[in-house]
Structure 1
């Protein structure tokens, strides 16, 4: 007989409670699951990714997208077009489907909690990179030459993931620390403008519940 993990059940209960307390504010979660799966498959195919990967496999999807997108301007623009196709595929359900509360509401395995946060952050960061941050990105040579920055980027990301694993309740504090980490080293290694870009992307990715967080161009 399969043993019941009481801690896991309690954790999921708490997550569902948090969701029920938040979705009435401004978090639509009415996502048509069949359409969501179809659109994800279509995006994966367009990007040359295994079509069977879903939001649960974001740790495999994101590195592939980033690796292709950050090679050159043409790939960047092409990736943005594929992002727009995914957006168009979901239509007015896009926001609901990529919403972390929609994904959290579906999980029955606590180990998927982080994937729910990271999947939502992936698309929100993608949106910024292809819209508000597009001009800054494509006209900055450093966007396509980040090999020397990878250790710093990875370090900031590891700190964020460790913070989130330890306490999802402190998402705003964790996000603020991540924003500062990204902005500081981009300013030190590149310039103020790219520092703002890195900070703002981090804010948009994770600060859904943190309206007071801001990114400034530090003089």
Structure 2
């Protein structure tokens, strides 16, 4: 799994940094998220390692042939990434969310907390960017891609890194609002603001219940 995380992270961060936000979490916070993501419904499908490894290998093949072609990604190429994520989702079927749960992955022997979190948040970011957020990605590609280099973005992430160890969900909520305002101002578009917030919030939705992003009008 570590190889997959590094490959996928390198491709997406080089291509468009807005899809893999630049923040880190202490192991204690990652562990807390994992505990909060423990399923409460016994009917939820269990992740089977054989199927998971098979589907992951198929996903890896997409990048394994020529990942360098994605280093200057455009909307067309990103659509191909989204199609491959959809195939990964279909391959896992009803066990998709169980296999990509922090609770599941952190309960494996000797888990690497940072790499496990990066793996999960990468797929959660792709899930939003490729589904509910895709229209905004297509319309605002250039702005969304360059925005993470700005000071307003960095200020939001610095704030998050400084406060997340104190209260996870309050930090997520405040940072989502900060990113909403910053993206909206930078791209001059309310939808871009919602994307900035939701792209961030979606990673934490199973651990911080009830948080919502708002579409703010000018």
Shared fold (TM-score greater than 0.5)?
yes
* TM-score normalized by the length of structure 1: 0.69
Please tell me whether residue 35 in structure 1 is matched to residue 33 in structure 2.
no
Aligned partner of 1:209 among 204, 207, 210: 207
Residues 196, 215 of structure 1: 8 Å contact kept: yes
Q: Distance in 2 between matches of 1:133 and 1:159?
A: 24
Deviates more, 1:26-35 or 1:198-207: 26-35
Q: Distance in 2 between matches of 1:68 and 1:163?
A: 34
How far does the alpha carbon of each residue in 1:95-151 deviate from its partner, in whole angstroms, 9 at most, with x for none? 100011111212535xx22333332222122111111111222122435x6235424
**Paired residue total:** 185
Structure 1: give runs of 5+ residues left out of the alignment: 1-10, 51-63
Q: CA deviation at 1:189?
A: 0.8
Structure with the higher fraction of residues in helix conformation: 1
Residues 172, 207 of structure 1: 8 Å contact kept: no
Distance 1:39 1:124, change over 3 A: same
Deviates more, 1:86-95 or 1:205-214: 205-214
Structure 1 vs Structure 2 CA RMSD: 3.3
Q: Distance in 1 between matches of 2:208 and 2:46?
A: 23
* TM-score normalized by the length of structure 2: 0.69
Aligned partner of 1:25 among 40, 47, 54: 40
Residues 70, 77 of structure 2: 8 Å contact kept: yes
Higher alpha-carbon Rg: 1
Match of 2:168 in 1: 171
Match of 1:131 in 2: 131
Distance 1:24 1:92, change over 3 A: closer
Q: Distance in 2 between matches of 1:44 and 1:157?
A: 30
Which gives a bigger RCO, structure 1 or 2 (Cα 8 Å, sep 6+)?
A: 2
